[in-house]
Chains A and B, each alone.
Chain A
């Protein structure tokens, strides 16, 4: 087991290295000179050149990369061109909101997916099953940002139950803050539960056909125990992987939700800074989300043996 953990950890290193190279390289490719952007269109070449030198932009690329990597490992991601704030602080504050929404949504979606998926598989081809499959198929086809808009239209504008724009930070009162988060969370939960339910149902169907399930029934176990102890752990393992992937992909997809509900989250930060050519922030966001994704998948890998002990033997 220790060897398994160690191996997994070790394998993330080349990935993270490559990730940082990609981030570094990508930013360098964006047209436009950061120094020019900072100084504005009227600056003279001499001051631009000296800013170049200050920012280290006239060094050869590998040197720049090492310098940047060094700074990053010390927690210094630079300063936003637009606001002058340290990038790290910006990201961390914005991330809290994004993380809250994403985590809660994925948790709810997983709960829904597990229960619906297992029941649908257990009562395969019944009307309940068809309803679940049909529902999941439709949900899969609905774009999350449109769902958000429609929900906003119905519950925010027409019915007036929930606020339409804006956001209140948690520090000002959890209850008030929650009101603003209900709709985005519901939107994300619905969209994510579509794909997770289908996966759970499919793997539960596979497991129900396995001989060890028949064996469990042959022992005289009540169906409840068969489902909980024998079907669930084996069916959940592949879905767990998907949950990890969802978490990762949502960190990006949330950009559209944050746009719809005008929430100051990480996704919106990324979009705004790309449009504004605020390179340090873009760089910081990319790196941050990638590292989080790697960490999340590592966590999933750590949880996986609980449901499928065979992976430790590999």
Chain B
């Protein structure tokens, strides 16, 4: 009983954080306190104050406005990645898990091979090939995450496959495609939804890491990652420049993770029945 209250609590916090993020993004589409890329050499390095709520950077650019734009950029990249990976990964995972046989073996070997490369390095190499823009980052991240998603969906498909109602579907005369769409997919959906929320978090983190390394979305577009990297030389004098973007990433991830956990707890006990 008390445990349920705790669950509630986590979910609410997660919802609040994510809601706040979304609201900021929405707002940022229409209005930011200053132009995020406007340089103001007269007021560099202002600490957080009434004029600049989160301070200004070495070029006098308003940190809050840049953070808001950065949120939108990170969010759109993460969303694109999640959509692409979930769509492809679910399809591949269902086929591998349900059809088994050679389809499964080939897919798993390819997944293992791609998974052998650490995600960041693979994404780096892919970005070197595709160039440093939003869509190529989405593609690079998608390729890096596709094998994990495929594996998770495959596991779900494997266990669903063992259930009697799948065999009942065969007895009723259904084709394999029908069985997958009507019985396997809906029952795999909870696992996929939970995965999607985790994936969103990882995508935001990866995109920030890539930006931090200098291979993300190119300047002058502000992303939290490159804001952090720009702040490094000025860590001592202007510590807010290092703290703000990091906090943004952290709060986003926290919110997404909490939501994902709440989702998983909500879906699990009922599914257990």
Contacts and interface: CB of A to CB of B under 8 A. Distances in A.
Q: Do A and B bind each other?
A: yes
B177 interface: no
A157 B249 contact: no
A282 B128 CA distance: 10
A249 interface: yes
B254 interface: yes
A255 B213 contact: yes
Contact of A26 (B129, B213, B250, B258): B129
A146 B129 CA distance: 28
A157 B120 CA distance: 29
B164 interface: no
A252 B122 CA distance: 9
B228 A22 contact: no
B114 to A, nearest CB: 7
Interface in A116-153: 125, 130, 137-138, 140-143, 145-146, 149-150, 152-153
B168 to A, nearest CB: 29
Interface residues of B, number: 47
Nearest to B17: A141
B118 interface: yes
B125 interface: yes
Given A130-B6, A143-B249, A150-B243, A271 B116 contact: no
Interface in A242-266: 248-253, 255-256, 259-260
B144 to A, nearest CB: 9
A250 B120 CA distance: 9
Nearest to B205: A143
Contacts of A150: 242-243, 246
B242 A285 contact: no
Nearest to A291: B116
B223 to A, nearest CB: 12
Contacts of A138: 254
Nearest to B144: A252
B123 to A, nearest CB: 9
Contacts of A125: 2-3
A153 B236 CA distance: 7
B197 interface: no
B29 interface: no
B51 interface: no
Nearest to B106: A14
Contacts of A293: 115-118
B50 interface: no
A294 B215 contact: no
A22 B235 contact: no
B215 A141 contact: no
A256 B212 contact: yes
Contacts of A291: 116
A125 B119 CA distance: 35
A303 interface: no
B109 interface: yes
Contact of B118 (A149, A152, A251): A251
Interface string B97-116: 00000000000011011111
> 4 tightest A-B contacts by CB?
A252-B118, A146-B246, A18-B113, A141-B253
21 contacts: A15-B109, A26-B125, A26-B126, A29-B129, A30-B129, A125-B2, A141-B253, A141-B254, A142-B246, A143-B249, A146-B245, A149-B246, A248-B118, A252-B121, A255-B120, A255-B209, A270-B124, A271-B214, A274-B125, A286-B125, A293-B118
